[in-house]
Chains A and B, each alone.
Chain A
Amino acid sequence: AQSVTQLDSQVPVFEEAPVELRCNYSSSVSVYLFWYVQYPNQGLQLLLKYLSGSTLVKGINGFEAEFNKSQTSFHLRKPSVHISDTAEYFCAVSEADSWGKLQFGAGTQVVVTP
């Protein structure tokens, strides 16, 4: 069975500073990897995804993530955050034979302060 671990439950960060959100997964088969964002009082929306090919994936709003198969990680980064990046971020995994079903991590709350 697959599992997803987000190593930080909350990450405080100052505006214009970089941020990294860590995600590790475990699975016995090939996986697809995703980051979703949930802004306050909203549903989730896709930030970026890794299906195949280049291990560095760029998403919306200046975010990027790198798939590291040997370390089973998919960490999310942004070089300079804005106040509007305050949100909860979820890492998710889909096993290649699971027809697109997602297993979500517990989430990381990012709080950006001036």
Chain B
Amino acid sequence: DADVTQTPRNRITKTGKRIMLECSQTKGHDRMYWYRQDPGLGLRLIYYSFDVKDINKGEISDGYSVSRQAQAKFSLSLESAIPNQTALYFCATSDRTSGSVGTQYFGPGTRLLVL
């Protein structure tokens, strides 16, 4: 089984709808991240969480919210989806040891289309 899973893998929604993307991990990592990938822009950080009670905004948090329900689960919500939120979304995890700094483990991604 994959260490980092994302559901759904593909989603089509309409402008104004609320949607939630879910991420689960079995790696036992404390840290979890949400990114979006757009062609020509690379990956941009939306939110990150260093433990269950620690949630931080990333580079592009406007229009998004997150929930860390447990160490293993980190959900991303779009409160009112708009077309420019059409993108590929990735969840990632990492641990806190100094030797693994910057080493992140990515899920397979969720492809979101907002009509």
Partners in one complex: yes
Find out whether the CB atom of A106 lies under 8 angstroms from the CB atom of B40: yes
Per-residue CB proximity of B72-115 to A under 8 Å, as 1/0? 00000000000000000010101000010111111111000000
Q: How far is the CB of B30 from chain A (nearest CB, A)?
A: 11
Task: Give the nearest-CB partner of A92 in chain B.
Answer: B102
Tell me how many residues of B have a C-beta within 8 Å of chain A. Answer: 25
Q: Give residues of chain A (20-57) contacting chain B, Cβ–Cβ below 8 Å.
A: 32, 34, 41-46, 49, 51
Q: Out of A43, A94, A101, A107, which one reaches B42, CB within 8 Å?
A: A107
A-B contact pairs, 26 of them (CB 8 A): A6-B42, A34-B102, A34-B103, A42-B109, A43-B4, A43-B92, A43-B106, A44-B90, A44-B92, A45-B105, A49-B103, A51-B99, A92-B102, A94-B102, A100-B101, A101-B45, A101-B48, A104-B35, A104-B42, A104-B43, A104-B44, A105-B42, A106-B40, A106-B42, A107-B40, A107-B42
- Sorted nearest first, the 5 A-B pairs with minimum C-beta distance are A43-B106, A104-B42, A94-B102, A104-B43, A106-B42
